[in-house]
Structure 1
Amino acid sequence: MDRMVGFIGLGIMGKPMAKNLVKGGCSLLVNDLNGDAVKELTDMGAQAATLKEIGEKCPVIFTILPNGAIVQSVLFGADGVAEGIKEGSVVVDMSSVTPTESKACAEKLASLGVDFLDAPVSGGEPKAIDGTLAFMVGGKQEAFDKMAPYFDIMGASALLVGGTGSGSVTKLANQVIVNLNIAAVSEALVLATKAGADPELVYKAIRGGLAGSTVLDAKAPLMIDRNFVPGGKISINLKDIKNVMSTAHDIDVPLPMSSQLLEIMQALKVDGHLEDDHGGIVQYFEKLAGVEVKRKEQ
């Protein structure tokens, strides 16, 4: 592995991922607008740096940022990474963006002699913390092989899906499945609650059957506990579903269920739930039914 590694974006996902890289022996230069998050990393031995300094000093650079526009600004804006980056470096963008945005980054960096991987992740904050994320990667095999040791530190699996943009396409598919699953769990538990059943016992009864899933196990207990502290914010997932619909429309793929999900998230935004965990999707169905999903008092 290269000695100096840049890491840009210390949010809910990025901060624990960066911490794992430090624990894994990487010398990290970090950058984020949140000074407290930067301090947490520097207290562990990382160094704070400007974007241009990261480009100058780090042959390996990771970004995980809220959207594609911010990725473009960080990489190619004034005093951005590209102003200092060296030929032969690798940039790995782990943000959830559109395939078009990933390809645009790859083309600009290629003109500078820099490889690019789009490598979004799945697993949420818990798996970011314990280093068991799943990476879906698009780009060149050689660059993927070079980054494999870093993926091993931050995740439990990493798969090169195809060329540039393939990782972002895979993440869009992932977000369709995850968020529609959350909506289905929400609808089912609201039905059970309104019918008089204890949603906690309903969850326990069905989790071992065909309805059981990672999403069910991750989100049903949080819904029942009324715990909507964000591990994956509705705001981020709303952005992802917007990207899903935009990409689908560009290639003439009708997505009727995802379009409904988009409107559900828009309604939650209007009701002030944008910063809740996406398990908070249940609140949309609760409002429709006039009921709250929670365990029955014994």
Structure 2
Amino acid sequence: MTKVGIVGLGIMGGPMASNLLKAGFDVIGFDVVPASLERLAGEGGTKAVSAAQAAAESDVVITMLPNHPQVEAVALGEGGVLDSAKPGTLYIDMSSIRPETARRLAEVGAERGVRVLDAPVSGGEKGAIDGVLSIMVGGAAEDFAAAQPIFDVLGRTIVHVGPAGAGQTVKAANQLVVGGTYALVAEAIVLLEASGIDAGVGLDVLAGGLAGSRILELKRKSMVARQFAPGFRIDLHHKDMGIILDASRDAGVALPVGNLVAALIASARAQGYGQLDHSALLRVAENLSGKGDA
């Protein structure tokens, strides 16, 4: 039986661990939040006292952490994942971080005999719970093949997109499109309501036409109802927009719409909406038109 270590048992990592347990994998996990560890133990997993223990006792190690500083500390720090993992271990970072950090992890892993994949995900908390995430994977083809049984439990759309760092670049592109779509749906709601039209009815029509999207499918009702319980927080999307803009500079390309979306998300954060779902871009659109509470 493959033993899987998971470091980071939060909104995404917790459900992923649950699904791996249900699929019959032996899971050992670590998190700095005690309640997350207790939840894992209650579901039949094993609590680790450190990321090092989770790595040392596993055949496959997964990290699901907020940003590159946490990943670097956990993976590259003294006594971290790459220090503690046995040669031949498969290390899959499923966080959303800078492509350059993903490439660095792969370089250090190769020096220590650890196989490394960057495999960020899309689909939010619901996708993690349902095991239907989209997973974009960078790294060696043979390592991707070795990780397939893990990915099959966690996701539905699973694609090897290129060498180390490629998964993170594709995730950046994903977040660019997601942020832009939320911004436009928010403006559509403001326009419809200011024109005296039932926004729910209007979005039902849009969802069935060329403007249809996964966001309209899943979020139009909650947006119209102003329900912004976080599936993916504004704070995290703000972080992702920084990754996107850094990647565009590295690639030498201009992203004018992306820069505008980044500014809108930064504005949402500055207005105190950072802990809300990224669909709360609707609040920013309302405030810009004098229709909100700000």
- What is the TM-score when the length of structure 2 is the normalising length? 0.97
In structure 2, the partner of 1:237 is 237
Shift, 1:55, TM fit = 2.0
Please list the CA deviations of residues 245-272 of structure 1 after superposition, one character each: whole Å capped at 9, or x if unmatched: 0110122110001101111111111110
One-letter amino acid matched to 2:8: G
Residues 28, 46 of structure 1: 8 Å contact kept: yes
CA distance in 1, matches of 2:86, 2:194: 60
Q: Answer yes or no: is 1:41 the counterpart of 2:36.
A: no
One-letter amino acid matched to 1:255: L
* 1:66 counterpart SS class: coil
* 1:45 counterpart SS class: coil
Please list the CA deviations of residues 83-136 of structure 1 after superposition, one character each: whole Å capped at 9, or x if unmatched: 321110110001111110100111111100011000001111111111111110
CA distance in 2, matches of 1:270, 1:217: 28
Q: Answer yes or no: is 1:228 the counterpart of 2:228.
A: yes
Q: Sequence identity of aligned pairs in percent?
A: 37
* 2:72 counterpart SS class: helix
In structure 2, the partner of 1:27 is 26
One-letter amino acid matched to 1:238: H
Residues 190, 292 of structure 1: 8 Å contact kept: no
CA distance in 2, matches of 1:86, 1:213: 43
* 1:178 counterpart SS class: helix
In structure 2, the partner of 1:278 is 278
Flag structure 2 segments of 5+ consecutive residues without an equivalent: none
One-letter amino acid matched to 1:281: L
1:123-272 alignment runs, 5 A limit: 123-272=123-272
One-letter amino acid matched to 2:26: S
Flag structure 1 segments of 5+ consecutive residues without an equivalent: 294-298
Report the aligned-residue RMSD: 1.2
CA distance in 2, matches of 1:205, 1:144: 40
One-letter amino acid matched to 2:3: M
CA distance in 2, matches of 1:204, 1:87: 53
Q: How many residues align?
A: 292
Residues 230, 275 of structure 1: 8 Å contact kept: yes
Shift, 1:292, TM fit = 5.3
* 2:269 counterpart SS class: helix
In structure 1, the partner of 2:91 is 91
Residues 193, 292 of structure 1: 8 Å contact kept: no
Residues 82, 114 of structure 2: 8 Å contact kept: no
CA distance in 2, matches of 1:117, 1:282: 35
* 1:136 counterpart SS class: strand
Please list the CA deviations of residues 201-222 of structure 1 after superposition, one character each: whole Å capped at 9, or x if unmatched: 1111221111111111222211
